[in-house]
Amino acid sequence: MNENPFLQPYTTPHQTAPFDKVKNEYYLPALKEGLVQGRKDVDAIVNNTAKPTFDNTIVALERSGDLLGKVASVLFNLNSAETTPDLQKIVREASPLLTEFGNDVTLNEKLFKRVKAVYDQRASLKLDTESKMLLEKTYKRFARNGANLDEKGKERLRAIDKELAQLSLQFGENVLNETNEFTMEVTDEKDLAGLPEFAREAAKATAKQKGKEGWVFTLQAPSYGPFMQYADNRELRKKLFLAYNSRGFQGNKNDNQEIIKKIVNLRYERANLLGYKTHADFVLEESMAGSKDKVQSFLTELVSYARPAAEKQYAELTTYAKAHGFQGDKLEQWDNSYYAEKLKKEKYSLDDEMLKPYFKLENVLDGVFTVANKLYGLTFKENKSIPVYNPEVKAYEVFDKDGKFLAVFYGDYFPRPGKRAGAWMNDVQGQKVENGVNIRPHIVNVCNFTRPTDTKPSLLTFGEVTTLFHEFGHGLHGMLANGKYESLSGTSVTRDFVELPSQVMENWCYDPEALKLFAKHYQTGEVIPAELIEKIRASQNFMAGVANLRQLRFGLVDMYWHSQQPTNESVTEVESKIDSLVNLYPPVKGIAFSPAFSHIFAGGYSAGYYSYKWSEVLDADAFEFFKEKGGLNNREVADNFRKNVLEKGGTEKPMELYKKFRGREPSPKAMLRRSGLIL
C-alpha cells in the first residue's frame, strides 16, 4: 500500500496523475480504500449532531469521496484511451462497486433529511448564486431519484427502472440483430456501376469474410452510405433502403413496436410517480429549454423556415435528376443521396484530397492554440516532464494572458488498439476552490486522426479539422473553469448547453482569417487559396433545408412520443402525423424509423433529440456576435464569452448565462442565415 501512488500526495508537476507509476494492481485497493473513506465522509455528515447547515451538509457532501474521484478519473480515462484486457476486467469489477456506492448515497434517508432541511430554509439563507445552485442541484439529485417517495413508491420506481433498462437493452439488441442479419449479395459486376473503388473493395472483403462469391453489402454505415450515394442501380438502392428503414418493424422476433409502447408508458408512469405531468416535463426541467412548450415552439418555428427552402432544394434536385436520366415524376427517398452527391460535385468541385495537404496535424494544432491566444490570451507550452499514459500523448502547460498557470492540457490524436473510436474530452482533475486555493484542471482531448506514413505527415480531412476544433472547444470549457464547486465546474452543464463552446470553436474552421493562420501546404508552405476557402464555405450549406427538415422530423417524433399521455396510436400513425409537416418524399409502405430510433429508445436522448438543433442555434447566434464585433481582432466578445460562459460552468441557469453574454435570448435566425435558409 505504501507504493500505491493513489494513496500518496502526487509529487509530479502541478500534481498531475503519475501515469508512469500507475500499475493495474493499484486500482482496486485504492478504489476500495476510496469507498471506505467515502462512506466515512457520508457517515460523518449523517451523524453530525449539529443542526443541518449549508456548510456541514451540502458543502461537506460536495467535498466527500475525494480519493474515489482521484482513482476513478484515471481508471476510466485509461479504459477509454489506453485499455487492455486486464484493465477492462478491473473496470468490470469496479463499476458495480461505484454504482452501489452512488445508490447508497442518494437513497440514504437520514442524509436526505439533512439535505431537505437545508433546502427547505433556502429562502432565508444568505447564499451567493453559485451556492444556491449547488443547493438546488444537490436536492434535485436526491428528489429526482425517488428520495421523496414512500416505500411503496420507491419499490415501484425500482421496478420501473429495472423494466425500462431491460426493454431499452432489448430494443438495442433487436436493432443490432436486424442490422447484422441482412446482406445484399451482388454477383454481376454491372450492378456495381457508379461505386468508387474503395466501396467495391470493402464489399469484396465482406463477401470473402462471409464465404460468399462476388460482393456483399450490409446495413452498416460504411457499406450502406456509399451504396446509397454512388450506386447507379436504382432497384438495388431501393432494396437496401427498404431493409434499412424497416429494422424493428417486420413483425418478427426483432420487432420493436410493442417495446416502444411499453417504454413510452413506463416513462410516463415514472414521471407521474415523481410528480411530473409527462416524461418530457421530467427531462426538460433540467435543460436550457426548460419546458416542452418551449421545445415544441422552437421546433415548429424552425420547420416554418426549413420547409420552404427544402421544397426549393427538392425541386432543384428533381430537375437535375430528370436531366440526368431519372424517369419518374417524383424522387423517392432512395434517390436522394444518389442525385445529391452528383449535384454537389457538379456545383463545388471539392473533395478531401484537394484539402488534406493544407491540414497537417501539427499546423492545425498550432492553429487552434493561436486562435485561443488571439481570443483569450492563452499560451501553450509543452512540458515533457509531465507523465503521460502513452508516448504519443503530449502534455502542455496552459498559461493565462498575465502569465499565470491555468491548466494542464493533454493531446492524444492517433488511433491505437487500446483506444475506442471517436473523439472526446475528459478531465483527469476537475477545477474547484478548496481552503482558499483554486485547484486548476487537467484536461484531455482524445481523437482518432490519420496517422503519418513513411512518406507523408499526418494530413487531416476537413472533417478531422473541425473535430479537433470541436473537442478543443470542450477543452476550453474545462481549462477556463473558475468556480468554487467541482460538480458545477467546466462542462458540468445541461445537454442542450454543453455543445455551445465546442460548436463555437468549429465556426473558426470556416473563417478565412482563422484558416489563413494555419492552413498551409505541408510541402510548399503556401497558404490555402481563397477559392478553396470559398468552396468550403459554399458547400457547407448544400441541401441545408432538406437536412434541417430531416433532423426536425426526428425531434418532433421524439416529442410526440414523450410530451403527452400515451395513446394507442400505432408507430405508423404517429410518424404519419409528423410526416405531414416535415417529409417531402412520397410515403412508403412497410417502413418506419421509430422502431430503430435507438437515440431515444435505447440511448439517453428521450425528450432531448431537439438538443442537436438547439445547440446549432446557440453556436450560430454566438458566433455571429463574434463576427459583428470584428472576429479574432476584437477581444471584447471573447472576454465576455469567457466570463459568462466558459468560466461559469453550471453555476447559473444556462439561459441566464447566455443572456449575460449576448444581451438577449438566442435567435434561431442566425442558424437559419448560416444555413442559407434566410437572408
Gap between the Cα atoms of 545 and 674, Å rounded: 11
Quickly tell me which residue has 498551409 as its cell: 520
**471 catalytic per annotation:** yes
CA–CA gap between residue 252 and residue 263 (Å, rounded): 19
**Mean pLDDT value of segment 253-280:** 97
In the DSSP assignment, the letter for residue 256 is -
Map out the domains of the chain with their CATH numbers: 5-148 (1.20.1050.40), 182-246 (no CATH)
Closest CA to 314 of 21, 549, 509, 12: 549
**Catalytic residue chosen out of the listed positions 82, 130, 471, 624:** 471
- Residues 82-112 as b or e (16 or more Cβ within 10 Å = b): bbeeebeebbeebeeebeebeeebbebeebb
Query: How much is the pLDDT for 641?
Result: 98
Q: Using an 8 Å Cβ cutoff, are 514 and 532 in contact?
A: no
1, pLDDT greater than 70: no
Which residue has 451556492 as its cell numbers? 131
Give the DSSP letter string of 349-382.
Answer: ---HHHHGGG-BHHHHHHHHHHHHHHHH--EEEE
If you count DSSP H runs as helices and E runs as strands, how many of each does the chain have, helices first?
Answer: 27, 9
Query: Strands of 424-429's sheet, edge to edge?
Result: 379-382, 394-399, 405-412, 442-446, 424-429
180 confidence band (pLDDT: 50, 70, 90) = confident
At residue 653's C-alpha, the angle toward residues 130 and 564, to 5°, is 140
Contacts of 85 (CB under 8 A, 6+ apart): none
- Contact indicator for 649, 489 with CB cutoff of 8 Å: yes
Is residue 18 classed as helix, strand or coil in its secondary structure?
A: coil
For the record, the C-alpha cell of 170 comes out as 432489448
> Which tens digit of pLDDT belongs to each residue from 12-48?
999 999 999 999 999 999 999 999 999 999 999 999 9
Find, among 97, 102, 98, 94, the residue nearest to 78 by Cα: 94
What span, in angstroms and rounded, lies between the C-alpha atoms of 83 and 18? 17
Cell numbers at 234, concatenated: 436504382
Whether the Cβ atoms of residue 29 and residue 77 lie closer than 8 Å to each other: no
Output the average pLDDT for the chain.
Answer: 93
- In the predicted model, what is the mean pLDDT of residues 315-328? 94
Give the pLDDT of residue 437: 97
Between 159 and 117, where is the model more confident? 117
Q: Quick: pLDDT tens for 87-98.
A: 988 988 888 788
Exposed / middle / buried, residue 351 (Cβ in 10 Å: 0-12, 13-18, 19+): middle
* H helical segments located in 82-220: 85-106, 109-120, 129-143, 151-181, 197-209
Predicted local confidence at residue 92, as pLDDT? 81
Helix (H, G, I), strand (E, B) or coil at 333: helix
Round to whole Å and give the CA distance between 427 and 478.
8
The size of the chain, in residues, is 679
Q: What is the pLDDT of residue 101?
A: 86
Residue 198: pLDDT over 80: no
Backbone angles phi, psi at 471, to 5 degrees: -65, -35
Question: Alpha carbon of 229 to those of 39, 306, 335, 548: distances in Å?
Answer: 56, 23, 9, 19
- The model carries a pTM of 0.81
The 10 Å Cβ neighbour count of residue 429 is 23
Q: What is the per-residue pLDDT for 328? A: 85
pLDDT of residue 421: 64
pLDDT at 448: 83
Residues linked to residue 439 through DSSP beta bridges, in sequence order: 432
Q: Is the pLDDT of residue 576 over 90?
A: yes
User: Cα dihedral angle (229, 233, 237, 240), rounded to 10 degrees?
Assistant: -120
Angle at 105 between CA 102 and CA 106, to 5 degrees: 90
Calpha distance 572→264 (Å, rounded)? 15
Contacts of 327 (CB under 8 A, 6+ apart): none
Backbone angles phi, psi at 521, to 5 degrees: -60, 130
Asked if residue 602 has pLDDT above 90, the reply is no
Among the residue ranges 41-45, 419-423, 448-452, 535-539, the one predicted with the least confidence is 419-423
Q: What is the Cα 662 distance to its own chain's centre?
A: 24
Q: Please give the average per-residue pLDDT across 491-508, as a whole number.
A: 92
pLDDT of residue 125: 97
Each residue's pLDDT tens digit, 395-424 = 999 999 999 999 999 999 988 877 776 788
